[in-house]
A and B are shown apart, each in its own frame.
Chain A
Amino acid sequence: MTEPAARPDSVSCGPYQRPRIIGIGNSDRGDDGVGIWVANRIASADWPGVAVVSLDSADGTALLSAWQGADVAYVVDAVHAELPAGSVVRMVVSPGQRIGATLRSLSSHGLGLQEAIDLGGALGMLPRRLVVYGVVGESFETGRGLSAPVARSGGNVMRRLRGALDRSTRVA
């Protein structure tokens, strides 16, 4: 399922609860780097009121540290799904929820995004609100950059994140 627009994220954006944007993947392996691509661009643009974490080639446990203390966290990752390349799947994750039914994280490491979510749920270490943007990739060859459809979707994810943050600020 590709969502054209994100549902408003009603979150508080006080100075001590800055939303966290976390990009995960491997920037050396084609479309697997889309999460890192998004996180790095947001960090470079220095978006106000948000903390950005880039987890390039990290194992899943690093996610637990990355969203530790955050009330709201957005995770951007490349995924496999029976959808056209560049499709963006947005999921609001609850403890115990299986994202694997529709998405398969591409982490080649021992623990991936699903395991991190499950561990976080078991340990009470999930943010109050966790939103995952999964971008369906098509090419994961070493040394390649993002494919054209995935690069376009990376920009789309950034716009959706910006919109979600703006709405949450207005709510706050």
Chain B
Amino acid sequence: MSQELPRTITLKVNALARVEGEGALFIRARNGQPQEVRLEIYEPPRFFEALLRGRHESEAPDITARICGICPVAYQMSACNALESLFGVVMSQPLRALRLLLYYGEWIESHALHVAFLHAPDFLGYQSSVELAKDQPDLVRKALQLKKTGNQLMALVGGREIHPINVRVGGFYSTPQPRDMAALRDPLREALDIATEMARWVAGFEFPDFEQDYEFVALRHPDEYAILEGRIVSDKGIDMPVSQFDDTFVEQHVSYSNALHSHIPGRGSYLVGPMARFNLNFDQLSPLAKEVAQQLGIRPPMRNPFKSIIVRMIEVVHALDQSSQIVGNYEQATVPWVEHVPRPGVGFGASEAPRGILYHRYRVGADELIEDAKIVPPTSQNQKRIEDDLWQFAPQVLSLPRDRATWLCEQAIRNYDPCISCATHFLRLTIEDD
């Protein structure tokens, strides 16, 4: 298909749909080549880091959980990691297993929401999940069931589905009764079948031919597919403790966005999230998740961001498989938290939120109050990478009719499942031809 391009094109999406929060995209191109790409995050900043100053250290998990209704557990876990590392808390194995289960619940509900309701419609030509539901109601009902299973895990371990209230520094306020845990066995088994079916479904989509040379960054744990904690690693040589995060990754303000852009000085953007985790930690996926990936012909390195939808479903299979094991082996801890003595200093923590590494740093004073806090969410880290993708992807689509080009650019953004509320600490799309 050859089509004469107008000299200047502007694509504008003033309110990006099917993303969490509020933002916009602007692309200006000349002779088919982008001249300007701006991912504009206009959701106002929320100043959570300032809000934390002067608050007692024990409040950090619950305050930061309020940053996001989709990934509150990630905030709780990263906050706890940072403070527990400062206070020298060593989590008992039963409590650590409960934290894993709570976090798996969040991965399942977040990934299920994004895959079925926000991203799949892009690939199938639907304007929304509502049209998908009209054509494939059984599949959408199953996706809802899958999401609900994740929510059940969060409700049981975290006390409620949204903004859990049962997490504290050192463990939990209470632990679930074995009979309540046993009631999760059948739902988890059914959800695993659904997740496997959905993984096959998304693997059958048509994907744009688009591969990039990313620097993948994720946590790496010695014994498991990292979620709760680990060292920060990349495929281009990073291997360091979380305490060195600020030495390697730099946040930068850009005039058109209320969210900071992260980059690696001298190297540029990097990618966090499911594709980075899959590429760096594939060997640690559960045997069943690995088997599903292999059946689908999915193996590292994955460099096509549009295929991240498949990786998300493989991660859901992994999360359900691991959750079934935790539930099957559950024995109620005799003590729901590990006693600890707060001490002054700086604590660093990171965990793998559904969208990637979530970094927290706290300085706590002798009075046990937080003197300083820094929070770097995954969408902030991926923002520059999303723009870089669009710089490379736009030339492929600018010759297409405007509606189609806009559609594909929005789809490229949704590859990252951006969470704008987290990042402002963000979406609308504008493509402009000069």
Contacts and interface: CB of A to CB of B under 8 A. Distances in A.
Interface of A: 26, 28, 55-59, 61-62, 64-65, 108-111, 115, 118-119, 122-124, 141-143
B162 A61 contact: no
Contacts of A59: 20, 69-70, 113
Given A59-B70, A61-B144, A65-B148, 16 more contacts: A56-B69, A56-B163, A58-B69, A58-B161, A59-B20, A65-B151, A108-B20, A108-B21, A115-B128, A115-B129, A118-B128, A118-B130, A119-B130, A122-B140, A141-B44, A143-B51
Given A58-B162, A61-B147, A123 B141 contact: yes
Contact of B66 (A28, A64, A122): A28
A78 B109 CA distance: 25
A62 B162 contact: yes
Interface in B257-274: none
Contact of B129 (A55, A65, A111): A111
Interface of B: 17-22, 43-44, 46-47, 51, 66, 68-70, 113-114, 117-118, 128-130, 133-134, 137, 140-141, 144, 147-148, 151, 161-163, 420-421
A94 to B, nearest CB: 15
Tell which of A57, A110, A118 has the most Cβ of chain B within 10 Å. A110
A127 B202 CA distance: 31
A150 B357 CA distance: 38
A115 B161 CA distance: 20
Contact of B144 (A64, A115, A118): A64
Contacts of A61: 113, 117, 144, 147
18 contacts: A57-B69, A58-B69, A59-B20, A59-B70, A59-B113, A61-B117, A61-B144, A62-B151, A108-B22, A108-B420, A108-B421, A109-B20, A109-B21, A110-B18, A111-B117, A123-B133, A123-B144, A143-B51
A118 B117 CA distance: 12
A119 B140 contact: yes
A118 B421 CA distance: 24
Nearest to A108: B21
Contact of A26 (B69, B113, B128): B69
A110 B17 CA distance: 7
A124 B17 CA distance: 24
A80 B46 CA distance: 21
Contact of A119 (B20, B44, B114, B133): B133
Given A59-B69, A110-B19, A142 B47 contact: yes
Nearest to A28: B66
Nearest to B130: A118
Nearest to B417: A110
Nearest to A121: B130
A119 B148 CA distance: 15
Contact of B161 (A28, A62, A142, A143): A62
A122 B127 CA distance: 14
A120 to B, nearest CB: 9
Nearest to B147: A61
